[in-house]
Structure 1
């Protein structure tokens, strides 16, 4: 914030308002300033302090923002109200409708030179593009928002940084996504900037990349941190609606500062509502841990909970990723037909550009199911597709495992030389997960 016009423009505005109100320079100046100071200010030869502008605004009967920028405070407050309306639309799962609202608000914020509001609209457009799977567009919105917020403290820039990392992750660029998230977490924790919402957003977002890179211990730790930081709000949507209604009334009555306070509460509650959707990742992580411990029934329940949370918000890409994990558990519990149906249903939402690792996991599992049904041709086709997806994403641990599966299949069908090639490729990708691809873990938050 802190935006204001140049001294010359402010001086002319003060002179015009003073003349319109029939005040002399002495009447405007008293009791705090001198007529000479007002004369110098109106001539544009001095940059007034915030204290001086507040004094002049009160004497002239206008808001501080209107005097400093020429924009009536009510215009900015009304724009912020409509931004919370767009947040509500997105939080309830209507991404395309929300995108149209954000685009209109961005144009208006830029016309009024409202930098913070324009950045908020860009973040909203980025979130909408993530929901609809338009990852390159999302990355562009987040990068522009980050540039607009360049002079803000790090916690204020976290949503843009996290959005950028998420767009890289969903496109299959795992290492870079982890780098962005870990360096931001480290800077927050080591710098003492322990903003709970910023930390929660980052920890919830880093779980998926950790899992796909085989860094399971870090994923489990991030999930525990996220759950410990999660805000306890009984019904954020209901409270946010109340604050929006209050803000509308206050704006109508000209009580702009009070309206802004209500709007800030509404915006925070809608953000928490979005974060609750993020926490589906934590249920997914718990499900994974249960499965690793042999608790398949409990793991299935956790993954179904995660899938239900994401499906309710119509988050197609995230839903598809969790569905792949759930299908794996279903297959291990002897429900292979249900698993195959689930996988075939989500493959249309996944590709080399959107969720490459989970698209590969879907093909891998369909290959295993096909092998169980003695359909070796279909199994090989799925394995080969999975291999090409994983090579692009650089998921080394998964590549090694897939090469073993493909090698075993080729050996059983009598193609020994091809099987040896597959095994050699797998050995080339074999790494210790989380040690060769990741650096030291970021500093921990003070919980």
Structure 2
């Protein structure tokens, strides 16, 4: 029996499918919302099941939509591009919720380097951080104790989810959406929870 042939640049299709599904779920996307022209939700389902071998061009498009590295989807290896140390420090601080330090580090990159890629990254993250900081501050102020009714708190979180989604931050939007749906479930407002979940899946 002839061994199965895979594209040289792509890992075993089952492993590729597993990573694709994990990245899609982490991004809060349905198969339908991940679909592209020429790549239907049914085809994505087959990719995730390991029944199809995607081309590198398709993986690149899917990776861009998921916000991950195409090499990670293809072979499970992410490219390492450290850039200025301030850029790495800023990203770590942002992920830990220390937005003030992150802002300082991104600003330091703009002041200290002339590398176009690093400057573009820092400027873009600074712009996103302004919106992310406001959302996090509102969340801390309104959700822990500012609003007693779970439904009201869910509406606040849902509003921020939509704001981040409009800015293109699907991961941040998914985090707020999950919190909002959990509150609606706690309040036993299953009908509204179902409506919100379908809204996010279609977005």
What range is the shorter-chain TM-score in? Answer: 0.3 to 0.5
Structure with the largest fraction of helix: 1
Q: Larger Rg: 1 or 2?
A: 1
Normalised by the length of structure 1, the TM-score is 0.17
Normalised by the length of structure 2, the TM-score is 0.36
